[in-house]
Structure 1
Amino acid sequence: MAAESPRKTTEPRSKTLSIHVVTWNVASAAPPLDLSDLLQLNKDNLNLDMYVIGLQEMNCGIMSLLSDTAFEDPWSSFFMDVLSPLSFVKVSSVRMQGLLLLFFAKHQHLPFVQILSTKSTPTGLFGYWGNKGGVNICLKLYGYYISIVNCHLPPHMANNDQRLEHFDRILEMQNFEGQDIPNILDHDLILWFGDMNFRIDDFGLHFVRESIKNRRYSDLWEKDQLSIAKRHDPLLREFQEGPLLFPPTYKFDKNSNNYDTSEKKRKPAWTDRILWRLKRQPQANPQTQRPPAPHFFLSLRSYVSHMMYCVSDHKPVTSTFDLELKPLVSTPPITLMPEGLWTMENVMLISYSLTPDFPSSPWDWIGLYKVYFNISDIPETEGQFLLCYYSNNLHSVVGISKPFKIQPGSSLAEDPLGESQPHI
């Protein structure tokens, strides 16, 4: 391979990224056969760029954990099998017992995604047991700091104060000492979701169920514990949430859409929630009274539950966001491409160029991957292979070639992008 001279950069244009967030307490169940509705694969022209998937109460028995240590857990494997053919790559994941957080992105965004840290914060049994708590992925996306938190807070009606305490504790533990990463409250975006376990106070079971039956959800909002806390807690007030226009997502009889018919007859509640917090923007100019031009803004496209899934006593909840940003990083650190015609009979050459400030390392490597594209995204004339440049210093892919063809008869790897198998 041969390095070329540094490239000139151009002024970046604003862009919009679509992000789909999933939270689901799966109650130790295996993945159902079809998750198209959950992943919005049945929506026309959705054109998503990223998936953020958080699960709670995955099977965390000792045999399951040992198996998942050696192999991908069934849920991660399922999502990878479904999303890989659509050009998505699993960029990062973190698991703590029953909590799992996955981050997928379309392959063209990989040079602009840098995973900075993954973290687990147990809060069960005085902070020593991971059956409750939070898992976090901290990353830079086109130069902006983003934290993603999947949590499982304490259950039961009477433990509202404990839930708020655990929320604060998880937030306080997201420090990144010695890594030159700002405090989480200084990040441009925090996505926070999970089984937060907040309940509906005061109202009796009959009133709650009648309100749900008649779709009078607004009658229940004023006694929702999280909504009440957001009105009084200064920090929670900074987190936004879409309107609760869907039925409470807990607690159902498994394999049905009936709320709890057991002896306990638990009162339905919106336990499964998706919140977000944008970094405070500069104030408006007092002379013009105009706010500064937006350079990083998140808008909510949908916030819904998915009643069709019955494997758990919770229903999954999803949000789809549009993230508008002006990239702080618009040029990949590395641009690379194959030279000449590639066949197994010829010497295969690669040319690449790099930005002046790229921290190269002798341990960097280039991998060749066979990938499977959605034919609606890539014309049939495009090839099926990509070159990817992995940076040892940045611990991420920092350059991807355009798809290209290799002459028939070559016996190269056929792993989807994301299954690391370098050939060069």
Structure 2
Amino acid sequence: MDWDVANEYFEWEVLKEWKQYTEKKKVNIFCSTYNVGAKLPLTERSGTGLQQLLSDQEMLEAYGGAPDIYVLAFQEIVDLSSASSYLLEGEAKLEWEQQVSEALGSGYDQLCSKSLVGLLLLAYAKKEMKEHISECLISTCAVGLFGTVGNKGGIGIHLKVYDSNLCFISSHLAAQQNNVQGRNQDFWKILENLKFIKTEESVSKLEMEIDESKKMAKENGLKKKRQVMPPATMFC
């Protein structure tokens, strides 16, 4: 790998002055995971339960208020032993999405949602927080039967909150209490294969931010200094 001296020097100088151009912000994030045993969230029974769970007063007091972001992971949203589990995945996903959205209320918007057979990973944010979140990227990795079927595996979500990159992963690993080696193998396969690739939307957003920064620099009178030192590179 080539060593770029100038770039490394620039990065080092910037890092030394990080306190001058950074601002710390506190973000409350609620993360939880549930194995629902192939049970759908029945409205008359689970709707209130979900609302109590996600809006519990003791929890809100501990958080110092309602969480800014909710990340909820579910396993076995369908019966994995049934041949029809793949067909029922979409229905179960929609049902859980609806119930969680209703439990959180109108103050939250869904950031992203992804299912992988029995796995489901949901992310929500406060409406006023959503504008500070970008690059919502999703990746999945199946590690089930023959190492490829999605009855076991992982889902990952990447979020850029302000200028910090966050990653949330939900996994469902090999069964049996004594099968530690199998779960470790699943873990490493998921870790190695989850890839978060920026979409055209996130790239265009980045370009827009660069253009905006150039506009701000121009409006505030920031100008690039004239080069007074001759180039150090010599050609023979």
TM-score, normalization: structure 1? Answer: 0.38
Residue number among 53, 62, 71 corresponding to 1:38 in the alignment? 53
Q: Please state whether the residue corresponding to 2:213 is helix, strand or coil.
A: coil
Distance 1:357 1:96 in 2: 42
Report whether the alignment pairs 1:54 with 2:73.
Answer: yes
- In terms of fraction of residues, the more strand-rich structure is 1
User: In the alignment, what sits opposite 2:230?
Assistant: none
Residue number among 195, 212, 226 corresponding to 1:355 in the alignment? 212
Report whether the alignment pairs 1:152 with 2:172.
Answer: yes
Aligned-residue offset at 1:15? 1.5
Cα 1:39/1:116, change in 2 over 3 Å = closer
Distance 2:147 2:180 in 1: 18
User: In the alignment, what sits opposite 2:16?
Assistant: none
Aligned residues of 2:153 and 2:171 also touching (Cα < 8 A): yes
Distance 2:90 2:54 in 1: 28
Distance 1:105 1:172 in 2: 28
Distance 1:113 1:55 in 2: 23
Report whether the alignment pairs 1:140 with 2:160.
Answer: yes
Q: Please state whether the residue corresponding to 1:155 is helix, strand or coil.
A: coil
User: In the alignment, what sits opposite 1:117?
Assistant: 137
Distance 1:177 1:92 in 2: 15
Question: 1:117 is aligned with what amino acid?
Answer: L
Aligned residues of 1:83 and 1:89 also touching (Cα < 8 A): no
Task: Note the residue ranges of structure 2 that are not aligned, 5 or more in a row.
Answer: 1-19, 80-84, 200-208, 216-236
Report whether the alignment pairs 1:16 with 2:11.
Answer: no
Write out per-residue CA displacement over residues 30-73 of structure 1, whole angstroms, 9 at most, x where no aligned residue: 222322342143335433111110000002624423545xxx62
Distance 2:214 2:37 in 1: 48
Aligned-residue offset at 1:116? 4.2
Q: Please state whether the residue corresponding to 1:129 is helix, strand or coil.
A: coil
Report whether the alignment pairs 1:64 with 2:85.
Answer: no
Instruction: Report matched runs for 1:187-336 at 5 Å.
Output: none
Question: 1:19 is aligned with what amino acid?
Answer: I
Q: Aligned pairs, how many?
A: 174
Question: 2:56 is aligned with what amino acid?
Answer: L
Q: Please state whether the residue corresponding to 1:54 is helix, strand or coil.
A: strand
Task: Note the residue ranges of structure 1 that are not aligned, 5 or more in a row.
Answer: 1-9, 180-332, 334-353, 359-424
Cα 1:80/1:66, change in 2 over 3 Å = closer
Question: 1:155 is aligned with what amino acid?
Answer: A
Aligned-residue offset at 1:12? 5.3
User: In the alignment, what sits opposite 2:98?
Assistant: 77
Question: 2:163 is aligned with what amino acid?
Answer: G
Distance 2:54 2:73 in 1: 12
Cα 1:12/1:106, change in 2 over 3 Å = farther
User: In the alignment, what sits opposite 2:185?
Assistant: 165
Write out per-residue CA displacement over residues 340-383 of structure 1, whole angstroms, 9 at most, x where no aligned residue: xxxxxxxxxxxxxx83359xxxxxxxxxxxxxxxxxxxxxxxxx
Distance 1:167 1:58 in 2: 21
Question: 2:30 is aligned with what amino acid?
Answer: H
Distance 1:77 1:108 in 2: 21
Instruction: Report percent identity of matched pairs.
Output: 27
Distance 1:111 1:357 in 2: 21
User: In the alignment, what sits opposite 1:214?
Assistant: none
Distance 1:36 1:176 in 2: 31
Greater RCO, 1 or 2 (C-alpha within 8 Å, sep 6+): 1
Cα 1:11/1:157, change in 2 over 3 Å = closer
Distance 1:131 1:149 in 2: 16
User: In the alignment, what sits opposite 1:25?
Assistant: 35
Aligned-residue offset at 1:117? 1.9
Aligned-residue offset at 1:130? 0.4
Aligned residues of 2:141 and 2:193 also touching (Cα < 8 A): yes
Aligned-residue offset at 1:132? 0.5
Question: 1:356 is aligned with what amino acid?
Answer: S
Cα 1:155/1:64, change in 2 over 3 Å = same
User: In the alignment, what sits opposite 2:115?
Assistant: 95
Aligned residues of 2:140 and 2:155 also touching (Cα < 8 A): yes
Aligned-residue offset at 1:135? 0.4
Aligned residues of 1:92 and 1:115 also touching (Cα < 8 A): no
Q: CA RMSD in A?
A: 2.8
Distance 1:13 1:120 in 2: 33
TM-score, normalization: structure 2? Answer: 0.65
Distance 2:181 2:90 in 1: 35
Aligned residues of 1:132 and 1:151 also touching (Cα < 8 A): yes
- In terms of fraction of residues, the more helix-rich structure is 2
